[in-house]
Amino acid sequence: MFVIENNDPNLDRQEQAMRLLWEYIKGHKGYYVVSFLSILIAEVITVQSPNVIGRFTDLLQAGKLNFGVVERYSLLLVLIAIGYTVFYGIGQFRTGMMGRQLEYLFRRHLFLHWETLSTTYFNKRSIGDLLNHAMNDVQAVRQAISQGLNQLSNAIFLLCSALFMMFHTVTFRLTLVSILPILFVPLFVVWFGPRVRTASRRAQESLSSMTDLSEESFSAIRLIKATANEGVAVHRFQERVDTVLSQQLRMARQTATFQSLIPLMGSISFVIALAYGGYLTVTHQILLGSFVAFTLYLALVINPLQQIGNVINSFQRASASLLRLNVLLGERSEIVDQSTLAEPTSIQGDIDVRLSVFQYPDSDTPVLKEIAFSVKRGETLGIVGQTGSGKSTLVNLLPRIYDPPPATVFIDGHDVRNMGLADLRNAISYVPQDGFLFSTSIGQNIGFSKGDATLDEIERAAQLASIYNEILEFSKGFDTVIGERGVALSGGQKQRTAIARAFLKDAPILILDDCLSAVDMNTEKRIISSLNEVRENRTTIIIAHRLSAVRHADLIIVLDDGVMVESGTHDELMELGGIYARMYALQQHDSEVTAN
Ligand SMILES: Nc1ncnc2c1ncn2[C@@H]1O[C@H](COP(=O)(O)OP(=O)(O)OP(=O)(O)O)[C@@H](O)[C@H]1O
């Protein structure tokens, strides 16, 4: 298959899409030659028919027609039609096929590219806009490169062949005078081209915004319904659709004016041909057959002129889309492998954090301050603190979802910034707060973290995450397909499926980011005891609001507004009598009240 990788850092970043397109065309020269040749042959064949009809007219005028002649000329026209169909069909199929391949290539390339970008990038970009690039922009390029090129070559060959035949069959003067209006066409192209391109870019941008809102509205459909806010959602959607419509109408106006001017020039040519050609025929300066053939040729010329208008529009739209794709493919992740990486060794899981301050790339406010702790392989770290105190931010620094400042976060003594991203992330099993599930079977959801996992391994992970029995209760067991984002599962079941996925990965570092919040106390206990079972070889980090989840940790740190205010074991922190002890007392009281 055609795989062009997109990882040459020396390439001009703004030219990625152009380069991709060019490489594809270069790699498929043979296909294009076959396609152009087929179309050329088809056009050379088809321009014979006016000539045949012209000669037929001359025979008719001279009273030399008989059945034999009629039969011969009919057969000739049939052969011309068959020849044209076969060769034009081959050309069409070839260019159509190449267009589809190019579409595939662009979409694959875009997806690979998105996979390399950091979370910060996706925080800033809307899903709808990205989808619009993958669908509409790629489609616009495909149309230009298959249909567009096809029509262009068809039109040029037909135009050249028809003009050649016109000069060949009638007087030079008649042909020249008749095609004069056509010479205005390039002027229209220069005038309308940039306008169509701008209109197309705006239309694509408004489409992106509409796709974006649709995506968001579908994701929030439960919230919208539960709060009876359908009216608000419909109104917001209506506004975006109105913008799309007005932008598209603007583009349609530009396109229609441009496209109708071209046949207008063709029609003026026709009028001149009839008047001047008629005069030449009546004064016997040319034969009637030549005049008939000439008018048929002129009709043949108008069609490609119209096509050229379409093609130029299609190229203008594609060039606007290519520009958008160039910008997208030129984006680079700010989190990349350093040029000098630490030797890849098998990661043990000793973690050391010496962080004086961390702030998000696009913010001026520090989120984490004065954090220092160490955990050894096999130990468990608990992180607690009020909501928004920086717990998730802290654990996100380990797999470099966000880059920590240099020399602040170490694994096995190596600064994580100097570790290979793939090695680092392979050594970490992370259950994020939302524990995302794919719309596929439960078994595949658990197996996602380990491509070659056996059913036994998946079942074992499900047992450790205390979800095994519930999965078996579904009629299709592990093959049960869950709705988009796991709608058919309860909150606790979703969390445990995500935990099972992390257990399966069997990485030296396991991070559970507040993913026990939706399970009851007994299930939490069972999962914690599973953790004890498997934690010998791994370092476990548990973020929790319910302190029972971290009570048995070897080290608990307490964050308050991004600052590590307390640290120690459960007993030490209770003895300290600070924030942790107060939280614990409060939760104990709450659970006693609930029990009573
Ligand atoms: N991508 C981001 N860019 C800028 N600020 C962010 C980003 N993500 C989180 N923050 C801010 O960082 C702070 C800490 O957020 P974080 O999610 O780490 O807290 P948390 O303790 O995990 O909260 P919770 O218990 O509610 O999950 C918050 O003030 C939040 O607004």
Phi/psi of residue 350, each to 5°? -75, 130
Tell me, yes or no, whether 288 and 365 share the same domain. Answer: no
Q: Tell whether 422 is covered by a domain.
A: yes
Decide if the complex's ipTM is over 0.90. Answer: yes
Q: Whose CA is nearest to atom 16 of ligand 1?
A: 390
With a cut of 90, say whether residue 323 has pLDDT above it: no
Q: Tell whether 197 is covered by a domain.
A: no
Tell me, yes or no, whether 302 and 400 share the same domain. Answer: no
With a cut of 70, say whether residue 485 has pLDDT above it: no
* Cβ 361 under 6 angstroms from ligand 1: no
- Residue 388 Rama label (left phi>0; alpha psi -120 to 50; beta): left
* Cβ 517 under 6 angstroms from ligand 1: no
Q: Tell whether 300 is covered by a domain.
A: yes
Q: Which residues are CB-neighbours of 406 under 8 A, at least 6 positions away?
A: 415, 417
Q: How far is the CA of 390 from the centre of ligand 1 (A)?
A: 6
Tell me, yes or no, whether 417 and 535 share the same domain. Answer: yes
Query: Which run of H or E residues covers position 249?
Result: helix 230-282
* Beta strands 428-431 and 509-513, pairing class: parallel
Name the residue among 558, 561, 563, 562 with its Cα closest to residue 584.
558
Tell me, yes or no, whether 539 and 471 share the same domain. Answer: yes
Tell me, yes or no, whether 324 and 360 share the same domain. Answer: no
Name the residue among 531, 534, 575 with its Cα closest to residue 553.
531
Q: How far is the CA of 384 from the centre of ligand 1 (A)?
A: 14
**Cα–chain-centroid distance for residue 283?**
66
CA–CA distance, 572 with 584 (Å, rounded to integer):
13
Work out the number of other CB atoms within 10 angstroms of the CB of residue 571.
9
* Cβ 360 under 6 angstroms from ligand 1: yes
Query: Quick one: tokens of 457?
Result: 């391994």
User: What is the number of the ligand 1 atom nearest to the C-alpha of 119?
Assistant: 1
Tell me, yes or no, whether 296 and 417 share the same domain. Answer: no
User: What is the number of the ligand 1 atom nearest to the C-alpha of 559?
Assistant: 21
Tell me, yes or no, whether 277 and 413 share the same domain. Answer: no
Query: Which run of H or E residues covers position 18?
Result: helix 16-27
The residue ranges of DSSP E strands in 333-427, in sequence order, are 351-358, 368-375, 380-385, 409-411, 414-415
CA–CA distance, 99 with 94 (Å, rounded to integer):
9
Q: Tell whether 68 is covered by a domain.
A: yes
Tell me, yes or no, whether 504 and 580 share the same domain. Answer: yes
CA–CA distance, 94 with 218 (Å, rounded to integer):
39
Residue to substitute in 122, 389, 545, 550 for testing ligand 1 pocket (most ligand atoms within 8 angstroms of CB): 389
* Contact indicator for 418, 408 with CB cutoff of 8 Å: no
Q: Tell whether 340 is covered by a domain.
A: no
426-430, 489-493, 571-575: range with highest mean pLDDT: 571-575
Kindly report, residue by residue over 59-117, the tens digit of the pLDDT.
888 888 888 889 999 999 999 999 999 999 998 888 888 889 989 999 998 898 888 88
* Cβ 349 under 6 angstroms from ligand 1: no
Q: What's the pLDDT score for residue 85?
A: 94
Kindly report, residue by residue over 162-212, the tens digit of the pLDDT.
888 777 776 778 888 888 887 787 778 778 878 888 888 888 888 888 888
With a cut of 60, say whether residue 468 has pLDDT above it: yes
Tell me, yes or no, whether 93 and 134 share the same domain. Answer: yes
User: What is the number of the ligand 1 atom nearest to the C-alpha of 545?
Assistant: 25
Choosing from 283, 300, 330, the residue where a domain stops is 330
CATH code for position 177: 1.20.1560.10
How many residues are listed for the chain in this entry?
596
CA–CA distance, 536 with 540 (Å, rounded to integer):
10
User: What is the number of the ligand 1 atom nearest to the C-alpha of 120?
Assistant: 1
Q: Tell whether 541 is covered by a domain.
A: yes
Tell me, yes or no, whether 151 and 286 share the same domain. Answer: yes
What three-state secondary structure class fits 437? coil
Q: Is the pTM of this model over 0.95?
A: no
Q: What's the pLDDT score for residue 6?
A: 43
Q: Model confidence at 340, in pLDDT bands (50, 70, 90)?
A: low
Name the residue among 564, 450, 445, 465 with its Cα closest to residue 512.
465
Q: Tell whether 116 is covered by a domain.
A: yes
Q: What's the pLDDT score for residue 158?
A: 81
CATH code for position 498: 3.40.50.300
Tell me, yes or no, whether 20 and 134 share the same domain. Answer: yes
* Cβ 388 under 6 angstroms from ligand 1: yes
* Cβ 389 under 6 angstroms from ligand 1: yes
Beta bridge partners of 374: 352
Q: How far is the CA of 564 from the centre of ligand 1 (A)?
A: 15
Q: In what order do the strands lie in the sheet with 563-568?
A: 414-415, 409-411, 351-358, 368-375, 563-568, 555-560, 380-385, 539-543, 509-513, 428-431
* Cβ 509 under 6 angstroms from ligand 1: no
For residue 560, the one-letter residue type is: D
* Cβ 558 under 6 angstroms from ligand 1: no
Q: How far is the CA of 1 from the centre of ligand 1 (A)?
A: 43
Q: Tell whether 227 is covered by a domain.
A: no
CA–CA distance, 375 with 555 (Å, rounded to integer):
8
CB burial of 270-292 (b: ≥16 within 10 Å; e: otherwise) equals bebbeeebeebbeeeebbbbbbb
Q: Whose CA is nearest to atom 17 of ligand 1?
A: 392
Number of domains, the chain: 2
Name the residue range of residue 321's domain: 13-189+266-330
Kindly report, residue by residue over 367-392, the tens digit of the pLDDT.
999 999 999 998 999 999 999 999 99
User: What is the number of the ligand 1 atom nearest to the C-alpha of 385?
Assistant: 21
Count Cα atoms within 13 angstroms, Cβ side, for 144: 19
Q: How far is the CA of 476 from the centre of ligand 1 (A)?
A: 39
User: Looking at residue 428, what DSSP letter applies?
Assistant: E
Kindly report, residue by residue over 133-161, the tens digit of the pLDDT.
888 889 988 888 888 888 888 888 888 88
Angle, helices 48-61/67-116, rounded to nearest 10 degrees: 160
With a cut of 50, say whether residue 47 has pLDDT above it: yes
* Cβ 390 under 6 angstroms from ligand 1: yes
With a cut of 90, say whether residue 543 has pLDDT above it: yes
* Contact indicator for 389, 560 with CB cutoff of 8 Å: yes
Tell me, yes or no, whether 521 and 557 share the same domain. Answer: yes
Q: How far is the CA of 123 from the centre of ligand 1 (A)?
A: 13
Residue to substitute in 364, 367, 384, 579 for testing ligand 1 pocket (most ligand atoms within 8 angstroms of CB): 367
